[in-house]
Amino acid sequence: MGKKSSKVYIVGHKNPDTDSICSAIAYAHLKREVTGNEYVAKRAGQINEETHYVLQKFKVDAPDLLQNVKLQVKDMDIHKIDGVEPNVSIKDTWAKMKENNVKTIPILKDEELVGVISTGDIATSYMDVYDNRVLSDAKTQYKNIIRTLDGTLVTGNEHGYFTKGKVAIGASNPDLMAEFIEKDDLVILGNRYESQACAVDIDASCLVVCQGAKVSEELVQKAEERSIVIISTPHDTFTAARLINQSIPVKHFMSKMPLVTFRMSDYVEDIKEVMTKKKFRDFPILDRHGRFKGFISRRRFMDVSKKKVILVDHNEKSQAVDGIEEADIVEIIDHHRLGNIETIGPVFFRNQPVGCTATIVYQMYEEAGVKITPTIAGLLCSAIISDTLLFRSPTCTAVDERAAKRLAKIAGINLEQMAQEMFRAGSSLKGKSAEDICFQDFKQFTVNDIVFGVGQINSMNRDELEEIKKTLIPHMPKVLESHKLQMIYFMLTDILDESTELLCFGNGAKAYIIDAYDLREDTDKIILKGVVSRKKQLIPTLVGALQQ
């Protein structure tokens, strides 16, 4: 089996906004159109009400949640193989291993793994020939013995088990046989009537008659009366004696539970140490219900490739999906300041000083000559409306405005009306907890070892912003503690007034803002006129103050 086809996830930042979701969906569509390969849009957090409204309007399903990009066992090449039941013979198991060209095979009972057997275990079974009671110790079914010896049942119950006695060869005369053959033994013999009769009289469990020799009606009837099994085999005595150990059920030689197993959900990083310490060739993989799914070999484990990811609308490690340091980042499409994402090798990195990632994605459609559908146009246009506050944000450029107007035409929407509907949905408090409101649009940053978060809600309704403020203030100390942040800033942005009331929480948070914006020391309510952009107006000013 070759490596899995290389799926690439396209994902925005945690606490995703409309731009990160819509850009991921649109860019995944573009990449599929251009390359024909599997590009999948994902989200790194819960979708906010504004984005939910946009997706519903254009009848697009929300991307599935990508909780982290750490490599899991389920992402690896799992060698799927049918197992055998515990009572299957060594011979049949060996035949299955040869047929499938495998060195290890699972032993399953009702889909549950009870053990594994390897070629080494089977070699042991062949070497264990000194114990003539191994067949009975292993409780070998007569059906297995018949199949292994290419035999036929003359009389008796083939579904019965050989559970007592030893395996003996009855080649001597009856007097000598009587000395070493006992009740319940399995006797391998030839065509001599006297030897056959002696074995029946001694009350052996089973007679294996070689070279297809006949057994008289009288002896067959006598055997039936005593529940003795008689098997006829075409093989000679030597061959029958050599083959019979192969009829032992595989459970007798298998490696039994508890084995070193891994779950489909296990992270590769977590199992690496176990895998390198244990010298097994193959490791069984179980699903969450404990059912066997296949094997991972040591070689496959060493060949495993990381998850491929394209980041849109961010390049900060603190904002990225968990486990990003273990992923293979192949592209970054962004419009923010350069952050601290590190990559394994060179990547395609497109970062433009525009108001929205969706504007860049729109340009890439144009450059690739791929037609933009009304649905994709609606998503990209909505993202630009959201990120630029319908061109009111200082981050907005002529490029953004031009792109939005062209996209609105393709999508058949009115920009002003769409903006009002989106912002109304985004600032609605209906059914939301303080936690929901706080993290609706929230980003985390690190400057000089200071970890802080900045949230923002935009509204066209001043009264609505006051309600949000009342809900947030008592909740913020809990957020500081639970998310291990030193400071939190929350922007209550009035779109129509083009201003922001900034709430400050945490030790020194307010002092940094007073210093950054050169406000009066006794300033109580922080109103920042003309400040509506977190990215362009708040973060650069705040970072400057923190770095001094």
Residue 195 covered by a domain: yes
Query: What's the domain count of the chain?
Result: 3
For the cut 70, the answer to whether the pLDDT of residue 66 exceeds it is: yes
Residue 130 covered by a domain: yes
CATH label of the domain that carries residue 197: 3.40.1390.20
- Averaged pLDDT for residues 215-235: 95
Same structural domain for residues 422 and 441?
no
Same structural domain for residues 220 and 327?
no
Residue 354 covered by a domain: yes
Q: Are 188 and 240 in contact (CB under 8 A)?
A: yes
CATH label of the domain that carries residue 60: 3.90.1640.10
Last residue of a domain, one of 227, 252, 277: 252
- Residue 130 is predicted with a pLDDT of 61
For the cut 50, the answer to whether the pLDDT of residue 250 exceeds it is: yes
- Residue 4 is predicted with a pLDDT of 47
Range of the domain at 121: 90-252
Same structural domain for residues 102 and 205?
yes
Same structural domain for residues 228 and 101?
yes
Last residue of a domain, one of 409, 426, 443: 426
Same structural domain for residues 59 and 116?
no
Same structural domain for residues 129 and 238?
yes
Q: Are 385 and 51 in contact (CB under 8 A)?
A: no
Task: Give the residue from 426, 351, 413, 331 showing the smallest Cα distance to 387.
Answer: 426
Least confident range from 10-14, 143-147, 290-294: namely: 290-294
- In order of 125, 246, 288, the CA distances from 141 in angstroms are 17, 12, 34
Q: Are 210 and 196 in contact (CB under 8 A)?
A: no
Same structural domain for residues 399 and 463?
no
Same structural domain for residues 456 and 419?
no
Same structural domain for residues 400 and 536?
no
Q: What average pLDDT is seen over the chain?
A: 91
pLDDT confidence band for 302 (50 / 70 / 90) = low
- Residue 44 is predicted with a pLDDT of 95
CATH label of the domain that carries residue 468: 3.10.310.20
> Higher pLDDT residue, 325 or 352?
352
Residue 285 covered by a domain: no
Q: Are 185 and 280 in contact (CB under 8 A)?
A: no
Same structural domain for residues 531 and 442?
yes
Return phi, psi of residue 370, to 5°: -95, 130
Residue 81 covered by a domain: no
pLDDT digits (tens, 9 = 90+) for 514-524: 999 999 988 88
pLDDT confidence band for 173 (50 / 70 / 90) = confident
Same structural domain for residues 352 and 473?
no
Same structural domain for residues 338 and 485?
no
pLDDT confidence band for 2 (50 / 70 / 90) = very low
Last residue of a domain, one of 368, 400, 426: 426
- Residue 128 is predicted with a pLDDT of 58
